[in-house]
């Protein structure tokens, strides 16, 4: 039932464009949802994409544009004049319109706003433009239905009728006082079932979950998830109702955040699609590979400094991989656990000291187990004098890596960097380097008799 | 505005429980949302949790139970008899009820179903019990409002009135024919605005996105996200309407999947909370640490096999870290890119051959850059004879790791294992081992004159 984009269909659409067969093209695209047409645009060049967009009605076009990825949208709209952009903006939800305009140069942005036929939309956009996109104000849309608490259900239905076109998903009607302060809400279901003459004041629910405009976006997502909300009203510091955030935007936000975390942990320095160019993909991989390489060459320098030890006991070199990889693995595990805690604000907050203490206890167990395994291996290869060197080094490396894995993401979070970065090549490389240093120092010290 | 759980509040609640002050306790908890009370239960022992749950009305209790994490819920309900569980199940949405019952022993499950006062709920549950929880059928709830296409808006409102208590969020009314086949839907907004005597047949939308019961859960999530849906109807192969999936469940699903991916990539073998015991945390970290250690000890065995080479050129040991970490980093990056492609089904599907070809081209660039950097370092430390050994090894390692990082997640996905596992310690360790082997073989071969 859902649309599946195939190469054949894509070729077919291209042929229709080349033939200029607008009638067939309109009929075929009319069968699709806007999100599916966005999918087609991803796979076509700018010119045919432009052609398709201009062929459709502005409302569908607006939805398609709202659906597109930021980069694709910027590239596509570069070929549009302000006069061409404005009609699409007219039809968009205000939050999507602001997202799109924020990607444009200031001149285009101002021209488009001046050109908007729908002056209410222009006002909505000007209201929203000054919010950062990572706070509630930057996520909200102005489209909502609100009603004065003193009115009746009948008046409310009249209000819905007037707003019906603008507000696609109503979810709930917000109830405000004469000053516009949010008092509560009435579900659409209640409106359907209520007597027409009933007072809103008698039927509305006054325990409503709301957010202030300045709340961070991830906090909004967490609140909506925790309380299973479809939409959340946004208020200013005087608790005046300014807009609402709908669940579809939060779903997109959660998905994006998960992708960003995955990228950061995997050491990719940006978003990249499978069909991007070879260079674009290399550019995303290289920065962290180079950082990792430089870190490892520092480790190489450390190892070179211990050539005399290596000369005496060649088997010392054999344990370089386990020291490096254990440090890296423990670092990733620990920082990932901290990440999880940071993203879940519903629990009790734990002090840093307590957190470190517990983490180091866990590290003690892990370090002893891994140290023992490697220690047994030294016996197996007939190098018993390395037992304590290897076991002690691994224990120290696990403890150090756990410490780093706990402190680094917390520090990064404090200074406003995505803490997931700390789980990636950065922490692996740092732990690799520290581990090698610790290993050779312990070797030098414990094997001092050599 | 949202509730923040503090240690003081928790102590306060505990005191009220110890004092047996039910009146104050009920009044204070009555101020909170069920999700917040779930938060309190996470921080209390079984006995007080049981006490709180029994103090509240069954409807609130049911919501709290539905909110709890699976493990906490299982532990808590162990102390409940079937007679005590049934009243909560009566009040739950059918999907939550089935999730809870599926965690219980078969005997308890059957007893509870037999004890349910609400026989419609019992029937709903029996309908849902046989679906796996990772397909659409396992996510859906039976609570929805459907109406025959031949009826009027008035009849529809009557239907909503009758179902009002069961269906908390209506979203849309589903339209079916005489056989119960899904034809389309009418939004609640349209019902509010329509004339009471209007025929449903004249106002319903017939282009409705639906899923079959057997569709995988992540496909459902992707469809709801792509089309910005609040709820999606679920049908059987004859297209008869069986239930619906609401967006809040999908939000939970997306969040869980993201957490699972993060765990898999970080080498954690299960879910663990910060306040779990030290042992529980070690148990989650140790499996992959041990696998990683064993892999590295295999690498150690390889290195030991080349002791004579190491004896002749001690500097060979210095490049063990860069070989290992570059292989690991490239493996994680590549498999993460594949993961991203696997989770985004909206794009065109690419053949494995084409995918590999492009990946290896990217690897060629990356390998040359990293190889050159390390090559320059050999000159810097006065070991020019290692230039080609190190550069060629790194190029090979990057190519091999890219190959492994592409093929492993695709293979795991094919055989039904979470492909994110392939981005974790597994691929790092494998690449580490392969890399070391390649490095020493190339060294032996290029330095044959030694």
| Inter-chain CB proximity B223 and A299 less than 8 Å | no
Could you tell me which chain A residue has the CA closest to the CA of B219? A2
Give the pLDDT band of residue B165 (cuts 50, 70, 90): confident
Mean pLDDT value across residues B237-250: 94
Contacts of residue B11, defined as CB under 8 A and 6 or more positions apart, other chains included, come to none
List, as ranges, residues 335-364 from A with C-beta within 8 Å of B: 335-337, 339-341, 346-348, 350, 355, 358, 361-362
| Inter-chain CB proximity A333 and B279 less than 8 Å | no
* Burial status of residue B18 (CB atoms within 10 A of its CB: 0-12, 13-18, 19 or more): exposed
Task: Report the C-alpha gap between A123 and A340 in whole angstroms.
Answer: 40
Is the predicted pLDDT of residue B218 greater than 80, yes or no?
Answer: yes
A238 close to B (CB below 8 A):
no
| Inter-chain CB proximity B251 and A252 less than 8 Å | no
Question: What is the DSSP code string of B300-349?
Answer: HHHHHHTHHHHHH-GGGGGGHHHHHHHHHHHHHHHHHHHHHHHH-TTS--
A240 and A315 share one domain: no
B231 and B293 share one domain: no
Do the beta carbons of residue B87 and residue B118 sit within 8 Å? Answer: no
Task: Report the C-alpha gap between A368 and A397 in whole angstroms.
Answer: 11
- Measured in whole angstroms, the distance separating CA B240 from the mean position of its chain's CA atoms is 29
| A258 in any annotated domain | no
| A265 in any annotated domain | no
| Closest to A35 in 3D by CA, of A8, A3, A67 | A67
How many Cα neighbours within 13 Å face the side chain of B57?
6
| B264 in any annotated domain | no
| Inter-chain CB proximity B210 and A1 less than 8 Å | yes
Quote the domain boundaries for residue A433.
Answer: 278-446
Q: Which pLDDT value is given to residue B439?
A: 93
| A273 in any annotated domain | no
Q: Which pLDDT value is given to residue A89?
A: 96
| A272 in any annotated domain | no
B240 and B96 share one domain: no
| Domain final residue pick, B130, B164, B195 | B130
Dump pLDDT digits (tens) for B37-96.
998 998 888 899 999 999 999 999 999 999 998 888 999 999 999 999 999 999 999 999
To the nearest whole Å, the CA of B425 is away from the closest chain A CA by 7
Domain count along chain A: 3
Q: Which pLDDT value is given to residue A346?
A: 56
To the nearest whole Å, the CA of B445 is away from the closest chain A CA by 20
A107 and A182 share one domain: no
A288 and A407 share one domain: yes
Higher pLDDT, B416 or A129: A129
| Closest to A266 in 3D by CA, of A71, A70, A420 | A420
| A267 in any annotated domain | no
Q: How many CB atoms lie within 10 A of CB A385?
A: 13
Contacts of residue A253, defined as CB under 8 A and 6 or more positions apart, other chains included, come to A139, A217, A218, A221
Do the beta carbons of residue B385 and residue B408 sit within 8 Å? Answer: no
Interface test with A, best of B172, B293, B438 (most A CBs within 10 A): B293
For chain A, 450 residues long, give each residue's pLDDT as a single digit of tens: 567 888 889 999 999 999 989 999 999 998 899 999 998 998 888 899 999 999 999 999 999 999 998 888 999 999 999 999 999 999 999 999 999 999 999 999 999 999 999 999 999 999 999 899 889 999 999 999 999 999 999 999 998 888 877 888 888 999 999 999 999 999 999 998 999 999 999 999 998 999 999 999 989 999 999 899 999 999 999 999 999 999 999 999 998 888 888 888 888 888 777 667 888 889 989 998 999 999 999 999 999 998 888 888 888 999 999 999 899 889 889 988 888 877 765 555 667 888 889 899 999 999 999 999 999 999 999 989 999 999 999 999 999 999 999 988 888 888 888 888 766 777 888 888 899 999 999 998 888 765
A307 close to B (CB below 8 A):
yes
Mean pLDDT value across residues B12-24: 91
Task: Report the C-alpha gap between B101 and B112 in whole angstroms.
Answer: 8
Task: Report the C-alpha gap between A313 and A316 in whole angstroms.
Answer: 6
Q: What is the pairing mode between strands A231-235 and A241-246?
A: antiparallel
Mean pLDDT value across residues B301-324: 89
Is the predicted pLDDT of residue B314 greater than 90, yes or no?
Answer: no
Q: Which pLDDT value is given to residue B345?
A: 58
Is the predicted pLDDT of residue B447 greater than 90, yes or no?
Answer: no
Contacts of residue B60, defined as CB under 8 A and 6 or more positions apart, other chains included, come to B34, B37
A89 close to B (CB below 8 A):
no
Candidates A192, A210, A355; nearest CB to B1: A210
Q: Which pLDDT value is given to residue B275?
A: 67
B298 and B441 share one domain: yes
To the nearest whole Å, the CA of B358 is away from the closest chain A CA by 7
| Closest to A253 in 3D by CA, of B400, B47, B225, B345 | B225
B65 close to A (CB below 8 A):
no
Q: What is the pTM of this model?
A: 0.86
| Closest to A74 in 3D by CA, of A42, A111, A100 | A100
> What are the backbone angles phi and psi of residue A56, rounded to the nearest 5°?
-85, 165
B85 and B167 share one domain: no
Is the predicted pLDDT of residue B347 greater than 60, yes or no?
Answer: no
- What count of residues does chain B have? 450
Residue A183: CATH number of its domain: 3.10.580.10
A57 and A165 share one domain: no
A310 and A395 share one domain: yes
| Domain final residue pick, B84, B105, B130 | B130
Do the beta carbons of residue B231 and residue B170 sit within 8 Å? Answer: no
| Domain final residue pick, A99, A130, A161 | A130
| Residue B8 vs residues A306, A374, B15, B34: alpha-carbon distances, Å | 55, 47, 11, 20
B289 and B408 share one domain: yes
B289 and B419 share one domain: yes
| Closest to B347 in 3D by CA, of A75, A44, A248 | A44
B27 and B152 share one domain: no
Residue A87: CATH number of its domain: 1.25.60.10
Q: Which pLDDT value is given to residue A250?
A: 92
Q: Which pLDDT value is given to residue A154?
A: 93
Mean pLDDT value across residues B8-31: 91
Task: Report the C-alpha gap between B450 and B444 in whole angstroms.
Answer: 9
Higher pLDDT, B5 or A144: A144
Task: Report the C-alpha gap between B297 and B302 in whole angstroms.
Answer: 9
Question: For residue B295, which residues of chain A lie inside 8 Å, CB to CB?
Answer: 325
| B196 in any annotated domain | yes
Residue B349: CATH number of its domain: 1.10.357.20
Task: Report the C-alpha gap between B187 and A340 in whole angstroms.
Answer: 38
Give the pLDDT band of residue B5 (cuts 50, 70, 90): confident
| B152 in any annotated domain | yes
Q: Which pLDDT value is given to residue A449?
A: 61
Task: Report the C-alpha gap between B311 and A311 in whole angstroms.
Answer: 7
């Amino acid at each position: 039932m859902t649309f599946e984009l195939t190469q054949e269909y894509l070729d077919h659409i291209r042929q229709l464009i080349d033939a200029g067969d607008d009638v067939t093209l309109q009929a075929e695209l009319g069968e699709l949802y806007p999100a599916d047409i966005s999918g087609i645009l991803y796979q076509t060049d700018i010119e045919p994409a432009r052609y398709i967009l201009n062929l459709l009605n502005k409302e569908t076009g607006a939805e398609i544009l709202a659906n597109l990825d930021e980069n694709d949208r910027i590239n596509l709209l570069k070929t549009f004049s302000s006069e061409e952009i404005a009609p699409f903006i007219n039809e968009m939800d205000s939050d999507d319109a602001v997202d799109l305009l924020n990607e444009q140069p200031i001149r285009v942005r101002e021209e488009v706003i001046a050109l908007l036929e729908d002056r209410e939309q222009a006002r909505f956009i000007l209201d929203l433009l000054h919010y950062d996109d990572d706070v509630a104000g930057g996520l909200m849309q102005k489209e909502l239905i609100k009603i004065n608490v003193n009115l009746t259900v009948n008046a409310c239905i009249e209000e819905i009728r007037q707003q019906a076109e603008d507000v696609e998903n109503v979810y709930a009607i917000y109830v405000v006082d004469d000053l516009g302060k949010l008092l509560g809400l009435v579900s659409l279901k209640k409106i359907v079932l209520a007597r027409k003459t009933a007072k809103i004041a008698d039927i509305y629910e006054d325990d409503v979950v709301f957010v202030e405009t300045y709340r961070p976006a991830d906090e909004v997502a967490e609140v909506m998830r925790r309380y299973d909300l479809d939409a959340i009203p946004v208020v200013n510091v005087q608790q005046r109702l300014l807009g609402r955030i709908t669940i579809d935007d939060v779903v997109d936000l959660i998905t994006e955040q998960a992708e960003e975390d995955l990228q950061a942990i995997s050491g990719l320095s940006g978003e990249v699609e499978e069909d991007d160019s070879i260079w674009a993909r290399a550019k995303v991989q290289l920065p962290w590979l180079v950082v990792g390489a430089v870190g490892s060459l520092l480790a190489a320098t450390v190892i070179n400094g211990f050539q005399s030890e290596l000369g005496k006991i060649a088997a010392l070199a054999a344990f370089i991989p386990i020291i490096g990889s254990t440090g890296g693995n423990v670092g990733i595990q620990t920082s990932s656990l901290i990440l999880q805690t940071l993203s879940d604000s519903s629990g009790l907050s734990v002090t840093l000291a307590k957190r470190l203490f517990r983490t180091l206890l866990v590290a003690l167990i892990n370090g002893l187990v891994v140290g023992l395994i490697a220690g047994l291996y030294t016996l197996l290869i007939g190098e018993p004098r390395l037992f304590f060197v290897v076991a002690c080094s691994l224990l120290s490396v696990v403890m150090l890596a756990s410490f780093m894995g706990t402190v680094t993401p917390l520090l990064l979070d404090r200074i406003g960097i995505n803490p997931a970065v700390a789980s990636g090549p950065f922490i692996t490389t740092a732990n690799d380097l520290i581990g090698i240093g610790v290993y050779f120092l312990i070797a030098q010290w414990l094997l001092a008799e050599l």
